[in-house]
A and B are shown apart, each in its own frame.
Chain A
Amino acid sequence: MPINLVSADYAAILPAVILIATGLAVLIADLFVTDDGYDNPSSEKSHLVWIGVCGAALAFAALFVPSGLLFGAWSENGVASGSEVVFLGALRLDAFGGFAAAIIIVAAGLTTLSSGGYLAAQGQNRGEFYGLVYLGGGAMVLLAQATNLISIFVAIETLSLTVYVLAGFFRKWKLGAEGAAKYFILGAFSSGFLLLGMAFVYGATGEISLAALGKSTADPYLMNVGLLLILVGFGFKVGAVPFHSWVPDAYQGAPATAAGWMAVAVKVCSFAALIRVVVAAGQGGVADAAIGKMLAALAVVTMVLGNLAALNQTNIKRMLAYSGIAHSGYLLIPVVLAFQGTPDPKVGAGALFYLVAYLLMTIGAFTVVAMVSNGDTDREELESYNGLAKRQPFVAFAMTVSLLSLAGMPGTVGFLGKLTIFKDAVYSGPYLYLAFVGILASLVSVYYYLRPIVAMYFREEGETIEIVENNWGVKLTLVLTSFGTIALFFCGKSVHELSVRSIQSITG
């Protein structure tokens, strides 16, 4: 079948193409240009950081070009105009994908910015790191736009491969190797589930398009089993309980900034794809209502177990990993509501807005972890943070802002995120209990989010903490994340409106 590419096709893949090109450019630049001698992994290589950040900025700008992904939703009229199916249904040009892409792109930029000094201090600053972030980022952006089973699967596999490598990027770390191996095996396993599920769904409908999930003529048995398997596959990707066992190990073994990247970007694109799937499946097809209940159960156990497991962690990366699991639980609430398809077409907006908050606070927290765990020594234990506020007031402040935001305290955008999600749950009627569980779970979470704050502010310094101090990139990242976390609380209006319009571009 011949494909006639029109401008919409180009506009749709422009951000992903820019990201991938950036990844390649970084890899090539690392070959030729070096600060001091050929390939010194202990130098900061700020030229790579610059190329990456510029690429991210370009990709971000590409979302807003005329007929770009977010152009329609951003402009005045308030209607998400210009959602078009492109590449024969493989992708869709809409604001929903654009919104998710924007988060991924910003995450890529911030990860790059914060990694230079950290990787250099670890003596592991190799261009592949950035290359993998951007190549993976391109795949993630495509996943957020993907609307048929094949493109979803291909995007997931591509991005997963890059993330497996990033998880084990520190080759000398035993934990890194262990975490990456676990991640890879379980990831491959989950891809099997996903693929099997897709095969069943294809069998039920005879089509690979996501829209076919809503077909009323499909075979209900095959369709429901297939959907369930697909959900299991996504459950692995987002780290929902009981498919979460890889998360703490992978995060602990990964470089801190890569852990932040994994936590944010993988979650964003997986949730975007998951929401597309459940919205399509929920639209009057043969999908059984029991799937909604199962999703709700998944949300409940994820919120509860994630938070309870985090309570006991003394390693900050593991704690943030369990907190990431818990946040997947909160994010599953809008997924449940989107499946239920309440009359209000903007119920999924909570997920998008929450992901923006999650981006800022998670990258902020992992950047601080990166700063503190400078050098060879193990600086991920909670005691390493004792007395940090005295020596490094700004770093401690940025960490506090991130943690309070993760806990959902007002004054930070994390609160607004939780508020939107819980409000939607209460409004939905039957799933009111999800808000109840979520609120109780966040109460539990307050305890462990406060523990680093106690260490930083209330305890006396044990050992002198040397941190990646004079690195401009790290500092800038922290300024951006902590400022963004607070500023979006006060002026989150336009971002929230954009998230509402974005979700309407697929539900309304």
Chain B
Amino acid sequence: MESVNILSILVFTPIVGAALLAFFKPKNTAQVRHAALAISSLTFLLSLGMLWMYSTAMGQHEDGDLAARGSMQLVEFGEWLPSLGVHFHLGVDGISILLVLLTTLLSPLILLSSWKAIGDRVKEFQIAFLLLEGGMIGVFLALDLVVFYVFWEVMLVPMYLLVGIWGGERRIYAAMKFFIYTMVGSLLMLLAMLYLWWHTGTVQLIEHGIVNPETGLLEMMPGLLEVLRTNPLEPTTQVWLFAAFALSFAIKVPIFPLHTWLPDAHVEAPTAGSVVLAGVLLKMGTYGFIRLAIPLFPHGTEVFTPWMLGLSVVGIVFGACMALVQTDVKKLIAYSSVSHMGFVVIGLFVINDLGWVGGIIQMVSHGLSTGMLFLLIGIVYERRHTREISHFGGLAQVIPVFSVMFIIATLSSIGLPGLNGFVGEFMILLGAFREHQWIAIGASSGVVLGAVYMLTLAKRFLFGPLVHEENRNLADLSPRELCYLVPIVVMMFWIGLYPKPFVELIEPSVQLYVDTINK
């Protein structure tokens, strides 16, 4: 199996697919839609293949030490610009594999959800979306900082187009704000990367072999993680570099007070954009912390930990309070994202196994539950063309199946035991309690507030008398809509009831990372 470069195939299937779509006739929308769906479904199947190869590789190290079980698998090291020192270096480990799977699972579902919603410039939409998918997968797999940066930025353009072309009223403002905010962070990150490059002489994250041009022999070169472990950076340098990386990631997460782009982007984006934003894009920020900022700059992390934890608690409470007073459903969910992502950041910055495993599970859970909420809102928006909460009420009488789905998503978002939201949040709080009790207590208030605003939403949305006559004739979920909701519900119950396989997938890598950081 060594010869199959599954990771490159995974990254490039959507990208090449997008290029191929360009040759389709724009008029033939059905064909374009089917082709795009086929490409993203193929990507999902390929990602299952990756999971299988990963598990097989793990199986070989069953009794091996932690280093063997937790390290990068399926590593690819290709030539890109050797004279510049940049290589196409990919790999997957327990930290990234679930996020890749989340991306590939959500993508076909999102395409299916926009089957009717996107009627204008269908071809461009599918192309932009597939490029976005490729970029997202690439971020999670990249092991070369430049490649990471490339994918990080490549995603920006299609997302910008998604909001700007297919968005709502204030789409241009929202798209610009999103782009500029992200750009500010990422260019500072680029500068920090360049500095790191100069200081260590490499941009590869892990050990890799390079053929020496003079001798023709393969030589093992240490990666950034190894170099910085044996030869740490000056404490002040670390603080600066951490700050530059963290700013970029914090904008993406988003951490209070850098969150202001998120409600705008969410509200203006089409359903597909909102789902992919909440489902995957926000996770890139937290993933960046795990993969780069925390392991590369332990001292910087130490200095900033109180800030990050404090801001996260503020964000959890602030996001929840803001969600309480929203009248637009999408805005409510957007603020709830700010609140929920705060938990993830807390999980990461308590730096123990529990916090990290919980954080990663919570990333996936939040992607599923918030993604599903946005899909559901998209469904009613398609029928009623409004998102004001006051325009609804008593929907449970008219569209029972929809209402069941909505309740499941709500409960999952609140963190009801038995559903996915509980597992991650509980582990995070447990992990946080071990290190910083007050933080855990502060964060817990977010769980309570979360229940308040989500249940209020469900009540005002689904129950009570049916005041608006227009709502009486709403159609319930169509088979197509069920098609893309059911897989998410299945995953929610799976993670909620039997999280063991997921935890086992994540744990060795997390342990390896946490052990080295705490050493």
Please list the residues of chain A having a beta carbon within 8 angstroms of any beta carbon in chain B.
389-390, 393, 404, 409-411, 415-416, 419-420, 422-423, 426-427, 432, 435-436, 439-440, 442-443, 446-447, 450, 454, 457-459, 490, 492-493, 496-497, 500
Chain A residues, CB < 8 A from B154? 409-411
Q: 8 closest pairs, A vs B, by CB?
A: A410-B150, A426-B194, A458-B164, A410-B153, A497-B83, A426-B198, A443-B187, A439-B187
Chain B residues, CB < 8 A from A454? 164, 172, 175-176
Can you list 8 residue pairs at the A/B interface with Cβ under 8 Å? A426-B195, A442-B187, A446-B179, A454-B172, A459-B172, A493-B80, A493-B81, A497-B82
Q: A426-B194, A443-B183 are in contact. List 10 more A-B contacts (CB 8 A).
A: A393-B124, A404-B157, A409-B153, A411-B153, A426-B191, A439-B190, A450-B179, A454-B172, A457-B165, A492-B81
Residue on B nearest A498 in the bound complex, by CB = B83
The answer to whether B441 has its CB under 8 Å from any CB of chain A is no
**Bound state CA distance, A419 and B153, in angstroms?**
13
**Bound state CA distance, A422 and B161, in angstroms?**
28
Q: Are A458 and B81 in contact (CB under 8 A)?
A: no
Chain B residues, CB < 8 A from A411? 150, 153-154, 157
Chain B residues, CB < 8 A from A457? 161, 164-165
Residue on B nearest A446 in the bound complex, by CB = B183
**Bound state CA distance, A426 and B191, in angstroms?**
9
A458 and B165 in contact (CB under 8 A), knowing A409-B157, A411-B157, A446-B183? Answer: yes
Chain B residues, CB < 8 A from A497? 82-83
Residue on B nearest A404 in the bound complex, by CB = B157
When each residue 174-200 of chain B gets 1 if its CB lies under 8 Å from chain A and 0 otherwise, what string results? 011001100110011011001101100
Chain A residues, CB < 8 A from B188? 439
Residue on B nearest A409 in the bound complex, by CB = B153
Q: Which of B150, B180, B190, B191 contacts A446 (CB 8 A)?
A: B180
Chain A residues, CB < 8 A from B184? 443
Q: How many residue pairs at the A-B interface have CB separations less than 8 Å? A: 87
A496 and B149 in contact (CB under 8 A), knowing A435-B191, A457-B164? Answer: no
Q: Which of B164, B171, B194 contacts A422 (CB 8 A)?
A: B194
**Bound state CA distance, A436 and B190, in angstroms?**
10
What's the least CB distance linking B27 to chain A, in Å? 12
Q: Tally chain B residues at the interface, Cβ within 8 Å.
A: 38
Chain A residues, CB < 8 A from B175? 454, 458
What's the least CB distance linking A439 to chain B, in Å? 5
Please list the residues of chain B having a beta carbon within 8 angstroms of any beta carbon in chain A.
26, 79-84, 86, 121, 124, 146, 149-151, 153-154, 156-157, 160-161, 164-165, 171-172, 175-176, 179-180, 183-184, 187-188, 190-191, 194-195, 197-198
Q: Are A410 and B80 in contact (CB under 8 A)?
A: no
Query: Which of A404, A422, A432, A457: most chain B CB closer than 10 A?
Result: A457
Chain B residues, CB < 8 A from A442? 187
**Bound state CA distance, A423 and B149, in angstroms?**
14
Q: Which of A426, A450, A493 contacts B79 (CB 8 A)?
A: A493
Q: Are B149 and A500 in contact (CB under 8 A)?
A: no
Q: Are B84 and A496 in contact (CB under 8 A)?
A: yes
Residue on A nearest B149 in the bound complex, by CB = A410
What's the least CB distance linking B245 to chain A, in Å? 14
Chain A residues, CB < 8 A from B26? 393
What's the least CB distance linking B413 to chain A, in Å? 32
Chain A residues, CB < 8 A from B194? 422-423, 426, 435
What's the least CB distance linking A437 to chain B, in Å? 10
Chain B residues, CB < 8 A from A443? 183-184, 187
Q: Are A450 and B176 in contact (CB under 8 A)?
A: yes
**Bound state CA distance, A364 and B188, in angstroms?**
29
Chain B residues, CB < 8 A from A492? 81
Chain B residues, CB < 8 A from A447? 176, 180
**Bound state CA distance, A435 and B197, in angstroms?**
13
What's the least CB distance linking B290 to chain A, in Å? 22
Chain B residues, CB < 8 A from A416? 81, 84
Q: Are B187 and A419 in contact (CB under 8 A)?
A: no
Chain A residues, CB < 8 A from B81? 416, 492-493, 496
**Bound state CA distance, A20 and B175, in angstroms?**
49
**Bound state CA distance, A325 and B320, in angstroms?**
48
**Bound state CA distance, A457 and B82, in angstroms?**
37
**Bound state CA distance, A491 and B179, in angstroms?**
27
A458 and B171 in contact (CB under 8 A), knowing A439-B191, A492-B81? Answer: yes
Q: Are B121 and A419 in contact (CB under 8 A)?
A: no
Q: Which of B146, B157, B176 contacts A419 (CB 8 A)?
A: B146
What's the least CB distance linking B392 to chain A, in Å? 30
